Amino acid sequence: MAEDLEQQVRLSQQGNRRAFEQLVGIFQKQVFFTVLRVVQDRHMADDVTQEVFIKAYRALPALQEPAYFKTWLLRIAMNRAIDQQRRSSREREQVFFFEEEPAGAGTECESLDRAPLAELGTALQEALASLPQKLRRVMALSLDGKLSHEEAGRILGCPAGTVKSRLHHARRQLREKLKRYL
């Protein structure tokens, strides 16, 4: 499977549009949601995601290692998202939501189950937004749950150990800020 993916990357590097469209299909959600966590605005995240893929397509011939396509793409996405977030003065919109758990599927976490769902979404978003930049970025990547510390490190340009320690600090701060819900 990884080889198939590398093959698609190589074909895309040669200008094969259909192969690139497949890559877009495979990674667009991961890119979009990562960007959305940073910019906290759906329209902006949509625009940034499209720009990321267009930029990636043009820069693709310069990618030396097709195996690193995912982290390379997410690095472009992260940089673009941070840049956009800095430049934008737009009001952030609510992007985190909590839904009613199906009956019987309690979380074994009474305080969480009792909290008003809308309030929980706002609280999480505010808590994340109040983290220092470096911690926010690492959380934006890790909330996905799909990246290893090594991959996150490649995207953020730091060693895996630094990712781990930033995640630890981010979680500690979140625990503190969200104490009343935990």
Partner 1 sequence: MDCQEANLWLDSMNHGDLTEPDSSELEGHLAKCSQCSLERDQARRLDVLLERASLGHFPEGFFDRQRQSVMARLGPELEWHAPPCSLLFLVMVIAGYFGGSIGPFMDSVLSFKSDLGAAWASVDEIAPLYGLLLLLAFGAVARDPDPEPVPVEVSQ
Residue number, 149 or 154, with CB nearest to partner 1: 149
Kindly list the residues in this chain that would bind partner 1 in the complex (CB under 8 A). Answer: 1, 4-5, 7-8, 11, 14-22, 24-26, 28-30, 32-33, 36-37, 46, 49-50, 53-54, 57, 95-99, 101, 107, 109, 111-112, 120-121, 124, 143, 145-146, 167-168, 171-172, 174-175, 178-179, 181-182
Minimum CB separation of residue 156 from partner 1 in Å reads 18
Comparing CA positions, the residue from 96, 42, 57, 51 lying closest to residue 77 is 51
Least Å distance, CB 81 to partner 1, is: 14
The residue count for the chain = 182
Q: 138 is written with which tokens?
A: 């690492």
CA dihedral (88, 91, 93, 94) positive or negative: positive
Q: How far apart are CA 76 and CA 52, in angstroms?
A: 6
Q: How far is the CB of 55 from partner 1 (least distance, A)?
A: 11
Please state the closest distance from residue 72 (CB atom) to partner 1, in A. 15
Q: Quote the CA–CA distance of 57 and 51 in Å, as a whole number.
A: 10
